[in-house]
Amino acid sequence: MSADRELEAASDILWQCWQDNTVIDELPEELRPVTRADGYAIQAQLMRLTWLPLFGWKIAATSLAGQKHINVDGPLAGRILTDRVVANGSAITLGANRMRVAEAEFAFRMGQDLHHRPEAYSQAEVLAAIDTLHPSIEVPDSRFTNYTKVGAAQLIADNACADDFMLGPAAPADWRKLDLAAHKVVGRVPGRGVMHVGQGANVLGGPLIALTWLVNELSSLRITLKTGEMVTTGTCIVPLPLEVGDEALADFGSLGKVSLNFV
């Protein structure tokens, strides 16, 4: 089997699990990625399997606690597929989702292309390329039975545990005046009295730091972050546990409030 066909075969297995709501222990040994680069090469094959353009990118494991939980030593990038995106206030099926958590995240829409290049992008360059900031909620999942044990390369191949994503309305334009690292975010599941409080600093030190990491991670893979694409920068609260019938609320203060219902 050619190298390209091996990448496609690994991607096909994970895609089918995603569509069928099933899991596997690991990818077959002959298709299993060894390095992060191998994992990203498999992940890239996802775009063969959807007819919709890419919506954007996500970052997993942006906190030390998150990295420890899934046994990786740094953040992971994944693709947000357009057909997995819903609007604020939507009801989505929790179904076979095994992680069963909601994550409150700062998301950014890009206003210009950031092409791959040899030198790293600075945070100032990345900030200048942003169009809008949005409050959002991610509902992650994995296609592995025990995602805490398969390692970074396979988790990247599994699209960094991407599943559903809710994008809220754009925040007021004066968000650039705020210290996003210090900005408070409150997540709630009101029906069960759950409340988790966090701040932007919980994602790699701040949402703009996380976004800059993503830009440079893509650049190292020779991928351009394109105008109009979204980047969600990881959960800034301890993830909210979910059950069928729950409503998850994320309050970003002056930046907006968003919610999802789980049926």
Give residue-wise pLDDT tens across range 6-20.
Answer: 999 999 999 999 999
Q: Is the pLDDT of residue 110 over 70?
A: yes
Domain boundaries, the chain: 51-143+160-262
DSSP assignment of the chain, as one string? --HHHHHHHHHHHHHHHHHHT--BSS--GGG---SHHHHHHHHHGGGGS-SSPEEEEEEE--SHHHHHHHT-SS-EEEEEEGGGEEETT-EE--TT-SS-EEEEEEEEEESS-B---SSPPPHHHHHHTEEEEEEEEEE---SBTTTTTS-HHHHHHTGGG--EEEE-PPPPGGGGGS-TTT-EEEEEEGGGTEEEEEEGGGTTTSHHHHHHHHHHHHHHTT-PBPTT-EEEEEESSPPEE--TT-EEEEE-GGG-EEEEEE-
Mean pLDDT across 125-148: 97
Considering the domain 51-143+160-262, what is its CATH architecture? Alpha-Beta Complex (3.90)
Q: Is the pLDDT of residue 37 over 90?
A: yes
Q: Tell me the pTM.
A: 0.97
Q: Is the pLDDT of residue 1 over 60?
A: no
pLDDT (0 to 100) of residue 182: 98
pLDDT-based confidence at residue 2 (cuts at 50, 70, 90): low
pLDDT-based confidence at residue 65 (cuts at 50, 70, 90): confident
